[in-house]
Amino acid sequence: MAGLQSDLPFDLEAENDGGKGHRTRFVILGLVVALAVGYMVYAAFPGNALYFLTVSEFMARDSAQDGRTVRVAGKLVDGSFLREENSTVANFRLTDNDGELVGQQLNASYLGVLPDLFFNPHSEVILEGSYGTDRVFQVNNVLVKCPSKYQSVEQEQEQRLLN
Amino acid sequence: MAETRQTELAHADSRESVTPLGPVRRSRDLRVYLVVLGGVMMLADLSFIFWVAPTDSILGDIQRVFYFHVPIAVMSFLAFFVVFVASIVYLVTRSPAWDRLAQASAEVGVVFVTLALITGVIWARPIWGVWWTWEPRLTTTLILWLIYVAYLMVRAYAANPNQGARYSAVVGIVGFVDVPIVYYSVIWWRSIHPSPVVGPLAQANALEGTMAAVLLFSFITFLILFVFLVAQRMALRETEDRLGGIKSAMRRRAESVF
């Protein structure tokens, strides 16, 4: 009867004979792991590893234009979208996403299906691809970034009436 | 030999019936309330999400994934916070109850973060145009998933339950570093993810009134689901512990007979 009760898997008496040295080693090991994880997160992201470049950053950075694959984000320039005749190749231009100011523009060419919200005026477009020698950005993938604001159709119409 | 086992089992049985089942029964009653309440709320939540919440003006119906995706992701943060606290208390007090809480919460947390990734993938394809992209929040969330899968593996492959409990507690404390990183990832780094809609860094007016109300309801629903799953898992773990104790006692008794 007594044997049944005292022999739970959590037998702390039997466990703690490892002593204090064991615990210190464990704390050190934990710290090393924590530092390693921290360093990996630090090294993986900031500075050189941006998720995307803006159009002007891309144009200013020669090292990004040597044909390596990069991501460039910006707004679709109004009226710049053109599909070649009898072809699925789309040509368009991208500009920085800072309001009315139209700065530098990036010529891009893409063969494929565009996401639904590509033409939405609220969307920001992110292109994955590389710069060709003809100064046209050859796009492999098109991504669309949406505003972090959700509203119903009715509310949007109300706001449009107010403006 | 066979006879000893018989008497052991009889002992185990009689011990079951003699033990005052008060706390066990109370915890079971609580879980029954939780599962009934949670079930009713989940049905209500579904009807709110699909019938009450307005359709988003830009994203359309797919935006309704939001009412699952965000509460599930936040519940996984909560789960890992519980693991963090329970692991510290366990290492200080060495009380099995805290280890049970840590394990239960970690397992439920892994389920929730997996669901957050899956709902995210479903949402990303029609809106972003890709199933997956290596942007900061997705990458750090995948790291989060790996950390807590590692937590469960460390526990499962340890030489004995005590070692598993201690080693995984360290993983549970250190691994929690990634939770704030996931939340702040869209602030610190350029990302395709929208900036926070809930939490300390949310913008004002990021959500319309009805949408915010449905989101709040969804949060409470998933919170109840989370509490129920953790309570259920803890009760199961308690039974496992008791069974383990009985088994090793029987083994010892059998050995002493020979």
At A104-148, the pLDDT tens digits run: 888 899 998 888 888 888 888 999 998 888 888 999 999 998 877
Q: Give domain status of residue A3, yes or no.
A: no
pLDDT at B17: 42
The answer on A57 and A40 residing in a single domain is no
In which element (H, E) is residue A50 found? none
Provide mean pLDDT across the span A42-71.
Answer: 77
Distance CA B88, CA B90 (A): 5
A94 inside domain: yes
The answer on A64 and A86 residing in a single domain is yes
Asked whether residue A31 falls in the same domain as residue A102, the answer is no
Higher pLDDT: A163 or A154? It is A154
Confidence of residue A20 (pLDDT cuts 50, 70, 90): low
| DSSP category for residue A94 | E
Q: Could you tell me if residue A159 is inside a domain?
A: no
Q: Is B92 on the interface with A (CB under 8 A)?
A: no
B28 to chain A, minimum CA–CA distance in Å?
22
Which residue of chain A comes nearest to B132, CA vs CA?
Answer: A143
Residue A150 lies in a domain: no
A144:B128 CB<8 A: yes
For B75, how many CA atoms within 13 A lie in the half-sphere containing its CB? 32
Residue B1 is predicted with a pLDDT of 43
Of B127, B208, B249, the CB nearest to A3: B249
**Whether residue A36 is found in the same domain as residue A100:** no
Residue A161: per-residue pLDDT? 80
What residues of A are in contact with residue B59 (Cβ under 8 Å)? 117, 146, 150
* Per-window interface: A 16-55 vs B, CB < 8 A: 26, 29-30, 33-34, 37-38, 41, 44-46, 50-52
Residues of B in contact with A73 (CB under 8 A): 190
Q: Is the ipTM of this complex over 0.85?
A: no
pLDDT of residue A102: 63
Structural domain that includes position A120 = 53-145
Q: Is the same domain home to A17 and A96? A: no
In this structure, the answer to whether residues A28 and A62 fall within a common structural domain is no
**Residue percentage of chain A with pLDDT more than 70:** 76
* Rounded CA separation B140/B179 (Å): 9
Amino acid in the structure at residue A154: E
Q: What percent of chain A has pLDDT over 90?
A: 10
Q: Which residue of A has its CA nearest to B57?
A: A153
Using the CB atoms, write b or e for A47-65: b if 16+ within 10 Å.
eeebbbbbbbbbbeeeebb
Q: Both A116 and A68 in a single domain?
A: yes
> Would you call A117 and B136 a contact, using CB atoms and an 8 Å cutoff?
no
Task: Provide, for chain A, the percentages of residues in helix, strand and coil under a 3-state DSSP scheme, each rounded to the nearest 5.
Answer: 40, 25, 35
CATH number of the domain enclosing A97:
2.40.50.140
Parallel, antiparallel or unpaired: strands A82-83 and A105-111: unpaired
Smallest CA-to-CA distance from A72 within A116, A125, A132, A122 is with: A125
Q: Do B207 and A7 touch (CB under 8 A)?
A: no
If you count residue pairs, one on A and one on B, with CB atoms under 8 Å apart, how many are there?
148
DSSP B51: I
Determine the residue among A10, A114, A157 to mutate to test chain B binding: the one whose Cβ has the most chain B Cβ atoms within 10 Å.
Answer: A10
Q: What is the pTM of this model?
A: 0.81
Domain count, chain A: 2
Structure confidence at residue A77 as a pLDDT band (50, 70, 90): confident
- Separation CA B167–CA B209 (nearest Å): 46
- Asked if B206's CB is within 8 angstroms of A148's CB, the reply is yes
- Which residue numbers in chain B have pLDDT < 70? 1-25
Same domain, A37 and A61: no
Within-domain flag for A157:
no
Residue B36 CA to residue B207 CA, distance in Å, equals: 30
- Rounded to whole angstroms, what are the CA distances from B70 to B14, B116, B215? 49, 8, 8
What is the per-residue pLDDT for B20? 47
Domain ranges of chain B: 22-257
